[in-house]
Structure 1
Amino acid sequence: MHHAEISPLMMDALVILGAAGIVIPLFARFRVTPIIGFILVGLLVGPYGLGRMTFEYEWLSYITITDPERLEPFAEFGIVLLLFAIGLELSFNRLWQLRKLVFGLGALELLVIGALLAAFLSMLGQFWTGALGLGLALAFSSTALVLPISGTNTPVGRAALSMLLFEDIMIVPVIFLLGALAPNTGGDGWSGLLDTLWKGGLVVAIMMVAGRFLLPRLFAQAARTKSPELFLAASLLVVIGASLATAIVGLSPIVGALIAGLLIAETEYHTEVEGIMEPFKGLALGVFLITIGMGIDIETIWDNLWMIASAVIGVLTLKAVVTGVLLRLMGARPATATETGILMASPSETSLIVLAAAASAMLIQPGTAQFWQIVTAIGLTVTPLLAMLGKRVARSVDPAPTLDELGGDENAPRVVIVGLGRVGRLVAQMLQKHDRAYVAIDSDPDLIEQARREGYYAVFGNALREDALDKLGLDRAPAVILTMDEHVLAQRMVRKLRAAHPELPIIARARDSFHAAELYRSGASTAVPETLESSLQLSEAALVDIGVPMGPVIASIHEKRDEFRDQIREEGALEHKPKLRTSTAES
């Protein structure tokens, strides 16, 4: 009996799906970005990892990928979906508000860094045309990695987004410029650039006009069918159609994907589209990251370790310093400029495309292109580490406010609120309303700065560090209130606080009754499940609206709340419940 052979493409798909099934939950368990995991998987299963051993051990061919070029179309599709998702998060109004940053800061960042790198490479002996191509290639930063890390709603995310948008717009002009500088091109490159620009502008204008009329009707029709499959098909049709339209006229397909996302963001269906496309975006981005890992040859790096390390450090340092300085000159606060500069320091997936264009135009030698491709791959790999480094350095550059700056007597008892998000702010407002002193702590410097401008008493710090909470006077605090939404982190904090302060009332936010029971087991005085409180509020509103007097309603709600809390405490099975100080926190 003959067994049907599995096609190489199917084998690659199985390897990638298996990697995703292992990497995402494993790295999420240790609270590490899966970006690093996918790159390491690519390094392990690629042609420079286990793939080079398939001739000796044939069974390895079932868990390795020996031809990265087969994955390139999927990796490119991942970038297209990423730009589509970014467009869904934006809007034309928000993009218009960023125009000065995009065409001011974005242009300065790309041109200044490209010029400085080109000048430095020229001094090392590279001919000026090749140096310009290398400088522009290395000046790009990774949209695929930076924006998922920074988001688009923080000061760092907005600054990064403005620069990355300009870089995405400039991909095609840069590639045409390199073609025009090729030794045997003549004037064809310049005429091709102008031809692409006017055709591309026309296609973009048609898409923007037609999209405003057609997309709402398309998604309304898909929504009426109540079929998720049809909604997904309509979403894929839009993003693929827009990408093909810009690709046909010579523009990058990611430009079409971004415009498609912006157009859908203006409709009432953008939330549904964003949710239904999320799994595909994550998987396709994983494919792209695996291909990056496959391009890293450990042996080549080891043989040229000093040169490659010097190049990586030099590029990262130059880009971080220049980007940070430009942001400061444009009015960004020191912490934002520092963190954004370091985050944007690594080269981009686009750098690989521009390097290939420079090599095909004979502006640089194949060996030179391969060297800088390795530098780029390493730079992409360390991007998550740069993000963590940027946060640490930013905190030292822009120190956190101290209790002395909050006003009042720092030795006075204060309720300590851990986390100053939506829930933490509401708790702080209620404490203020009843004239209770408090201080809030959060590890997000931008959130702390905004909260202090709005009048909250807040300091920056990592609440997991005992010394940070001790400085807030935890030994004198009437209570500590944990408002974070992280399941494991809340339990860990409750255990640490209970061990250090056996009599301290600890009021903790819980997701549901099961989480609340775990918090009680860890030592919480009171755990408040969000699902329980929403149910009680809904019941209260319904009873009042149908005519039941407010007094009996409030009494019954309190009675039901106490009943549920007793039940959850029993589920928590507290065998050695510590003696707590009398507190009105539960009333």
Structure 2
Amino acid sequence: MSAETNASDLVQVVALLGAGVIAAPLFKRIGLGSVLGYLAAGLAIGPYGLKLFSDPQAILHVAELGVVMFLFIIGLEMQPSRLWNMRKDIFGVGALQVGACIVALMAVGITFGQSPIVAFVAGTGFVLTSTAIVMQMLEESNHLQTRKGQRIVAILLFEDLAIVPLLAIVALLASNGETVSLLERLKSVGIGFAALAALILAGRYLLNPFFRLLAKSGAREVMTAAALLVVLGSALLMETAGLSMAMGAFLAGVLLSESAFRHQLEADIEPFRGILLGLFFLGVGMAVDLSVIAANWQHVIIAVIAYMIVKAAVIYGIARVLGTSNAESLGRAMLMAQGGEFAFVLYAAATAAGIFDGETNAVLTATIVLSMAITPLVVAVYVRLAPKPQVDTSGLAEPESHEENVLLIGFGRFGQIASQPVLARGYTMSIVDRDADLLREIGKFGFKVYYGDGSRPDILHAAGAATAKAILICIDDKEAAIKIAEIVRQEFPMTKVMARAYDRGHAIDLLKAGVDYQIRETYESALNFSNELLQVLGEEEEMAANLIAEFRENDLERFALEQVGGIYAGRSLIKGNAQPADIVAAKTGRDRERRAAEQAAAAQGAAT
């Protein structure tokens, strides 16, 4: 019996993975987005499709961790100063939009014959936009870090915060006028504030020393486990205090946003986030109860249309009143017109409190799920039909070169010296290193250096390699430097790569790996040392300089000849388009001339 159960579980796991792997790329390829693909796949394998799953709520319960991890990663991008700069969007635009939508959607419910309390709770649930869907679609469209994307993120943050007072209001409405103990209310508020304070203090004083201690162990799996511990522990603390798990994860991300371990954390969490978020959308697709929709299809369809149209109209109107452009207002309205996953929590609380009966809860839940399912389709249609905005660049100056980004991997003695003139000139530089003690020391001097393994593609992406103008490999480890060079050349083929080489053999290997420029770490200092030595020995300054120049030329020729098959030709170390064969011929000719001169001198000496 146990073997049969295990086989059944394995079939479900394979079905989930297979459905996501097939549907998401397919829907994205045809322009409908991966979210709609996951939803369709969930519907196909769920209770009303192939019946491989009978309890989609169990899947959703686990998959909600994907939303939690997503908000943690968003928090890592939101430094406290940046969040403070967004306060007007969060508490201004966010509060205005939520309040106006609640009033408008409550009016829709009353129009359909609902009691004021039921209409309020039903409308309020639909106001809470799906953070998972909106964030995923913003990320896929590369709008997450734009100004309009950040405004939407700010509104979503306010909606996440709003779930706390809304749950309290539901509990108050369920009391049917009975007096709620003031002490109980103060106790709940106090627990919430205590949990927030504990999380902030832990993030401020404990997390960085904690990760530094773990980094010294050198165990990569321990760092991954610690990252998961921080995310899930923060979420658990907030949920235990009666707040939102997502809010706890977001705050943890914000508190770690200025940590030197930020990129490492993001890279460790990203695989879990992606899988669980896809699982969440699969669960939402499974949760579409076709029997409820079939029995109440008129109510569900009318509710979806009415709620989405009214909510979109209110969002658009508020955006226009606040001076947002027509295109951005329409885009925000289309993207945020659906209900969200927090509505399930609110409706469940209302049902438990007796505000909703079972049928009302089922119909409203189906309304939310259906609105979430059709949102990617609505947005895809809007994107195709909406006129493409024309960017006016008149009167704008061209970007200056010093605004380009540089990624430096390895901040040891070589990287520190190489970075100083670049930083002094005003170029922006992202620095990645694995030495936790070094990070702690140089952090005192204001350097923004992040902990991470530069040989991992996910770390490179998180550190901004995709947008860097140049990537500098300045680490001590020869094999790791070659590996990084190969990964960078494969992942970012258009980016210039410059590397520090340990010795001649390492320099050749780096060039084979595809770097654009390399220099042996002791080469220039040794030549300068030799130049000074020649002068100490009595040589004239000009003679010493000529000897050093001749050595450079000979070394350059030997370096080119030592490369297998002339791998490196015509790049920065060989001037012009000379090939190794040309250099051989030139050197052979000079050798002949030198030997002829020596023979002539010897003959002249003999004659004398």
Q: Which runs of 5+ in 1 are unaligned?
A: 52-63, 408-419, 427-484, 486-510, 516-527, 564-587
Is the 1:105–1:163 contact (alpha carbons within 8 Å) kept by the matching residues of 2? yes
Is the 1:338–1:394 contact (alpha carbons within 8 Å) kept by the matching residues of 2? no
Structure 2 match to 1:37: 37
For residues 143 and 193 of structure 1, the distance between their equivalents in structure 2, rounded to whole angstroms, comes to 29
Equivalent residue pairs, number: 439
Correspondence 1:111 to 2:75: no
Is the 2:343–2:368 contact (alpha carbons within 8 Å) kept by the matching residues of 1? yes
User: Displacement of 1:191 after TM fit?
Assistant: 6.0
Structure 2 match to 1:46: 46
Structure 2 match to 1:441: none
For residues 3 and 188 of structure 1, the distance between their equivalents in structure 2, rounded to whole angstroms, comes to 53
User: Displacement of 1:325 after TM fit?
Assistant: 1.7
CA separation of 1:329 and 1:65: change in aligned 2, threshold 3 A: same
Correspondence 1:400 to 2:398: no
Structure 1 match to 2:131: 143
Of residues 378, 386, 393 in structure 1, which corresponds to 2:370? Answer: 378
Structure 1 match to 2:469: none
Of residues 137, 154, 160 in structure 1, which corresponds to 2:146? Answer: 154
Q: Give the aligned residue type for 2:50.
A: L
CA separation of 1:544 and 1:530: change in aligned 2, threshold 3 A: farther
Structure 2 match to 1:320: 312
State how 1:232-311 maps to structure 2 within 5 Å: 232-302=224-294, 304-311=296-303
For residues 163 and 189 of structure 1, the distance between their equivalents in structure 2, rounded to whole angstroms, comes to 33
Of residues 352, 355, 362 in structure 2, which corresponds to 1:360? Answer: 352
Structure 2 match to 1:522: none
Deviations 1:349-379 (A, max 9, x none): 1112212222222223322221121111111
Structure 2 match to 1:5: 5
3-state secondary structure, aligned to 1:362: coil
Correspondence 1:95 to 2:74: no
Is the 1:150–1:156 contact (alpha carbons within 8 Å) kept by the matching residues of 2? no
3-state secondary structure, aligned to 1:312: helix
User: Displacement of 1:299 after TM fit?
Assistant: 5.0
Structure 2 match to 1:226: 218
CA separation of 1:561 and 1:224: change in aligned 2, threshold 3 A: farther
For residues 359 and 368 of structure 1, the distance between their equivalents in structure 2, rounded to whole angstroms, comes to 9
User: Displacement of 1:32 after TM fit?
Assistant: 4.9
Of residues 538, 543, 561 in structure 1, which corresponds to 2:517? Answer: 538
For residues 30 and 265 of structure 2, the distance between their equivalents in structure 1, rounded to whole angstroms, comes to 30
User: Displacement of 1:79 after TM fit?
Assistant: 1.9
Deviates more, 1:112-121 or 1:5-14: 5-14
Q: Give the aligned residue type for 2:228.
A: L
Is the 1:513–1:529 contact (alpha carbons within 8 Å) kept by the matching residues of 2? yes
Identity of aligned residues (%): 30
For residues 395 and 237 of structure 1, the distance between their equivalents in structure 2, rounded to whole angstroms, comes to 46
Deviations 1:243-286 (A, max 9, x none): 12112221122221111111121201111111111110111112
User: Displacement of 1:200 after TM fit?
Assistant: 1.0
> Over aligned residue pairs, what C-alpha RMSD do you find?
3.7
User: Displacement of 1:168 after TM fit?
Assistant: 0.5
User: Displacement of 1:186 after TM fit?
Assistant: 2.0
Is the 2:65–2:276 contact (alpha carbons within 8 Å) kept by the matching residues of 1? yes
Is the 2:43–2:282 contact (alpha carbons within 8 Å) kept by the matching residues of 1? yes
Q: Give the aligned residue type for 2:136.
A: P
Structure 1 match to 2:574: 556
Is the 1:540–1:554 contact (alpha carbons within 8 Å) kept by the matching residues of 2? no
Q: Which runs of 5+ in 2 are unaligned?
A: 405-465, 467-486, 499-513, 528-551, 557-569, 582-608
User: Displacement of 1:25 after TM fit?
Assistant: 4.5
Runs of 4+ in 1 over 6 A off after TM superposition: 420-423, 511-515, 531-534, 540-547, 560-563
Deviations 1:293-334 (A, max 9, x none): 112134543554444332222212111121122122223222
Structure 1 match to 2:68: 80
- TM-score (norm. length: structure 1): 0.67
Q: Give the aligned residue type for 1:16.
A: L
Structure 1 match to 2:586: none
Is the 2:57–2:287 contact (alpha carbons within 8 Å) kept by the matching residues of 1? no
- TM-score (norm. length: structure 2): 0.64
Correspondence 1:339 to 2:319: no
3-state secondary structure, aligned to 1:153: coil
Deviates more, 1:236-245 or 1:64-73: 64-73
State how 1:437-456 maps to structure 2 within 5 Å: none
CA separation of 1:167 and 1:190: change in aligned 2, threshold 3 A: farther
Q: Give the aligned residue type for 1:290.
A: L
Q: Give the aligned residue type for 1:42.
A: G
Is the 1:88–1:264 contact (alpha carbons within 8 Å) kept by the matching residues of 2? yes
3-state secondary structure, aligned to 2:76: helix
CA separation of 1:406 and 1:156: change in aligned 2, threshold 3 A: closer
Q: Give the aligned residue type for 2:321.
A: L
Q: Of the two, which has the highest radius of gyration?
A: 2
Q: Give the aligned residue type for 1:530.
A: M
CA separation of 1:299 and 1:222: change in aligned 2, threshold 3 A: same
Correspondence 1:16 to 2:16: yes
CA separation of 1:89 and 1:421: change in aligned 2, threshold 3 A: farther
Is the 2:107–2:119 contact (alpha carbons within 8 Å) kept by the matching residues of 1? yes
Of residues 133, 142, 145 in structure 1, which corresponds to 2:121? Answer: 133
Is the 1:102–1:165 contact (alpha carbons within 8 Å) kept by the matching residues of 2? yes
CA separation of 1:5 and 1:362: change in aligned 2, threshold 3 A: closer
Correspondence 1:217 to 2:196: no
Is the 1:134–1:355 contact (alpha carbons within 8 Å) kept by the matching residues of 2? yes
Structure 2 match to 1:571: none
Structure 2 match to 1:414: none
For residues 154 and 560 of structure 1, the distance between their equivalents in structure 2, rounded to whole angstroms, comes to 46
User: Displacement of 1:288 after TM fit?
Assistant: 1.2
Is the 1:323–1:341 contact (alpha carbons within 8 Å) kept by the matching residues of 2? yes
